[in-house]
Structure 1
Amino acid sequence: MKSAITISLVEEARGGPFVLWDGLEKSIAFAGELGYDAVEIFAPSVDAIDPDALGKMLDKAGLKLCALGTGAGWVKSRLQLADPDAGQRQKARDFVRSIIDLAGPFGASAIIGSMQGPSGHTDDSAPSYLAEALEDGGAHAAQYNVPLIYEPLNRYETRQCCTVADGVELLESLSTDNVRLLCDLFHMNIEEQDIADALRVGGKWVGHIHFVDSNRRPVGLGHMQYGRIIQALRDINYQGYLCAEAFPYPDPHEAARQTMRAYKYWTQS
């Protein structure tokens, strides 16, 4: 299992669960200094990132890009893939495709989280709209030989999939096999009866992990029990990233250091 850390470029999300906030160059350099393997970037749009410049920053720091989030489509533009309006749904799909096209050449995935639809969505067609969007995004990502990543969220953030089992059922219903699950330990702490068992249910569908504690602070600063979680990931032969998506507590740099200490402890023990 490899290490990764989140970088946010979205001012509207400041104070949210992203660790590094000092811009790409400084954040990538710092992540490299700490020994991370990769970064996950939350950007306002593809226009905010110069691919050539990003590639040079990553190469200099010895890092990979593991994923790009799509959540700014919701945070900034109120786009969601399950919108009742067909025109808005298409705009949301186009936004996701643009993120896929930026991430794909780096061998990175786009992540569908908050764009799946907020907690207030009451349209009975929402699940089918989401499935259609995942079909579209998964097929589009296939040209880059990377999967689309879909994240079940807790009940306070969506009425779509809230558990890993729900996510597996959704992915198994699709005609594309190029969508994988993001299992976020914070959301799982709310929704799952047993996190380790849920990861085993996820099995081959688990494509990305958000490595965070029960209170959404860095690993080790809450009450999450990681021994069985790490063992479950080993049991399913998970070889992807453990990515810190946590509040920058007590500050971004210390949150990054704390996560790296925890990553080394749990993966090397």
Structure 2
Amino acid sequence: MIQSAITVSLVEEARGGPFVYWNGLEDAFDRAAKLGFDAVEIFAPGPDAVSQAELKSLTERTGLKVAAVGTGAGMVKHGLSLTDVDASKRKAARDFVRSMIDFGGPVGAPAIIGSMQGRWGGDLSLDGALDYLAEALDELGPHAATYNVPLIYEPLNRYETNLIRTVDEGVKFLKRLKTDNIKLLADLFHMNIEEANVADALRQGGDAIGHIHFVDSNRQAAGLGHTDFAPIIEALRSIGYDGYLCAEAFPLPDSDTAAQKTIEAFKSLLA
């Protein structure tokens, strides 16, 4: 069954970014639970930002789950990339992702690799960058499997990466990996830029799709842009998708309105 989720950022350096809630984890869990969401996706500065005891207490008190945890703070705060030409920095990036897998794993939440995938250019070729990325995923995917969760990899739009930008490119990349514990994050905002047809791309992605960022064409809450969500939901049902639709959206016009619009759209589309 497809479930709803909403994002919260605990990373001050990312303020102004596309996360709905910004006022702490307890506030996010309480507001999301009141609106009827199923889970919260957490963008944290690191694995020590929230204790496992606090996380467990919040999930038990509200009945919400943790949909996923982001790793982008490794880039935002520390400038780390899995495709850095410096081997020591690549190792630091892998170590950071590993620590976030260890943060989310105990509560059943997979880690997401988005901005930490980096870019190619200068002394680094595309093939070289993809080799570094494959090396990282082949190391980290099996580690995520120890918690019985996948590692989530996110194709990004052309303005954020020059590595893998479409679902089809993502599926082809997964086939070269040794690990089978990597799933794709299909972000509807990025797909609106890169895909000729979002619904068709999701169908072609099939069981490689492991997480959805549920957001409109303008990165606002669903219903505040021009995306036609009906064929997207139909495509997800056709591939048997049973993960989360998670709002990684700007808090516009404010957090509460963005959250309310998201849950209204989710309930209407999934009715």
Q: How does the TM-score come out when normalised to structure 2? A: 0.97
Q: Which amino acid aligns with 1:77?
A: H
**Which residue of structure 2 lines up, in the alignment, with residue 136 of structure 1?**
139
Q: Could you say which residue in structure 1 is the equivalent of 2:70?
A: 69
Return 5+ residue gaps in structure 2 as ranges. Answer: none
Q: Could you tell me which residue of structure 2 aligns to residue 80 of structure 1?
A: 81
Distance in 1, matches of 2:74 and 2:181, equals 22
Relative to structure 1, the CA distance from residue 85 to residue 164 in structure 2 (aligned partners, 3 Å threshold; closer, same or farther) is: same
Structure-2 residue corresponding to 1:154: 157
Tell me the C-alpha RMSD between the 2 structures: 1.0
112, 130, 143: which one pairs with 1:127?
Answer: 130
Per-residue CA deviations over 1:64-104 (Å, capped at 9, x if unaligned) read: 01100000000000000000010000000000000001111
Q: Which amino acid aligns with 1:10?
A: V
Specify the alignment match of 1:107 in structure 2.
Answer: 108
Answer yes or no: is the 8 Å Cα contact 2:113–2:153 preserved in 1: yes
Q: Aligned runs of 1:220-239 on 2, under 5 Å?
A: 220-239=223-242
Instruction: Answer yes or no: is the 8 Å Cα contact 1:120–1:158 preserved in 2.
Output: no
Residues 156 and 165 in structure 2, CA contact (< 8 A), matched pair in contact too: yes
Identity of aligned residues (%): 61
Matched with 2:49 is: 48
Q: Which residue number corresponds to residue 251 of structure 1?
A: 254
Aligned-partner Cα distance in 2 for 1:169–1:224: 26
TM-score by length of 1: 0.98
Cα gap change, 1:58 to 1:232, in 2 (>3 Å): same
Q: Aligned partners of 2:122, 2:74: CA distance in 1, in Å?
A: 16
How far 1:121 moved relative to its partner? Answer: 6.8
Does 1:183 find its partner at 2:186? yes
For 1:122 and 1:37, the matched residues in 2 are separated by 45
Partner SS state of residue 66, structure 2: strand
3-state SS in 2 of match to 1:3: strand
Cα distance in structure 2, aligned partners of 1:40 and 1:16? 14
Find the residue that maps to 2:261 and give its secondary structure. Answer: helix
> Would the aligned equivalents of 1:119 and 1:155 in 2 still touch at CA under 8 Å?
no
Tell me the distance in 2 between the aligned counterparts of 1:122 and 1:51.
41
Spell out the pairing of 1:4-43 with structure 2 (5 A cutoff): 4-43=5-44
Give the C-alpha shift of residue 120 in structure 1.
6.0
Residue-pair matches, total: 268
Deviation string, structure 1 residues 90-135 (Cα, Å, up to 9, x no partner): 0000000000011111111000000000476761111110111111
CA distance in 1, matches of 2:196, 2:268: 25
Quote the Cα distance in structure 2 between the aligned partners of 1:193 and 1:6: 27
